[in-house]
Amino acid sequence: MMIMVKSWHEEEPRRPTDGGDVGGDEQIGTAWERRFTLPPREDGLHPVLTLRVYVADEDYLNQDDPGHTPRPVLRQQEERILCRDPKDPGGTGDWADYHHMIIPFGGSTPSDADAYLACAALRVPTTEDWDGLAGYERSIR
């Protein structure tokens, strides 16, 4: 199941779009996303990589405490899916994996506009970032 393409193709509109409520309880405001695909694999599954950025409350587990003050950070979510239809990866997925990281932010408090700009600035991934294989497929190589 080797994929010979080196970089991912960014789906239209090739700019951040509203990614919806993907951050759960920690998400504050809008999640911005960009979606990338590789050609279908030999088994017909499509690798889809969605990169999202949103403002998150780093202290969301304490949000129900009286006097809770959110600690906003920029969170990046990377969603890797193998699916049958790249236009509906969540509805046709056979395997998925998620990675989360905090994006360093030099300003005071990050805003939705900062999340949008951070998402727009993300580079186009290469197959070195993810080669389109599911985690379990690595152990049988």
Task: For residue 136, tell me if it sits in a domain.
Answer: no
What pLDDT score was predicted for residue 140?
Answer: 57
Task: For residue 71, tell me if it sits in a domain.
Answer: yes
* Domain with 105 in it: 9-131
CA distance 94 to 83: 5
Task: For residue 109, tell me if it sits in a domain.
Answer: yes
Mean pLDDT over residues 14-24, rounded? 95
Highest-pLDDT range among 1-10, 23-32, 130-139: 23-32
Domain count, the chain: 1
Q: Between 50 and 128, whose confidence is greater? A: 50
Tens digit of each residue's pLDDT (9 = 90 or more) over 51-78? 999 999 998 888 888 988 888 999 999 9
What are phi and psi for residue 122, nearest 5 degrees? -60, 135
CA distance 62 to 95: 32
Tokens linked to 106: 């030099």
Task: For residue 123, tell me if it sits in a domain.
Answer: yes
Task: For residue 4, tell me if it sits in a domain.
Answer: no
Exposure of 16 in the CB half-sphere (CA atoms within 13 A): 24
What pLDDT score was predicted for residue 4?
Answer: 56
What pLDDT score was predicted for residue 136?
Answer: 84
Mean pLDDT of the chain: 91
Task: For residue 137, tell me if it sits in a domain.
Answer: no
What pLDDT score was predicted for residue 6?
Answer: 66
Task: For residue 91, tell me if it sits in a domain.
Answer: yes
**Is residue 47 within 8 Å of 82, Cβ to Cβ?**
yes
Task: For residue 138, tell me if it sits in a domain.
Answer: no
Tens digit of each residue's pLDDT (9 = 90 or more) over 87-116? 999 999 999 999 999 999 887 899 999 999
pLDDT of 25 above 60: yes
Nearest to 58 by CA among 17, 98, 105, 18: 105
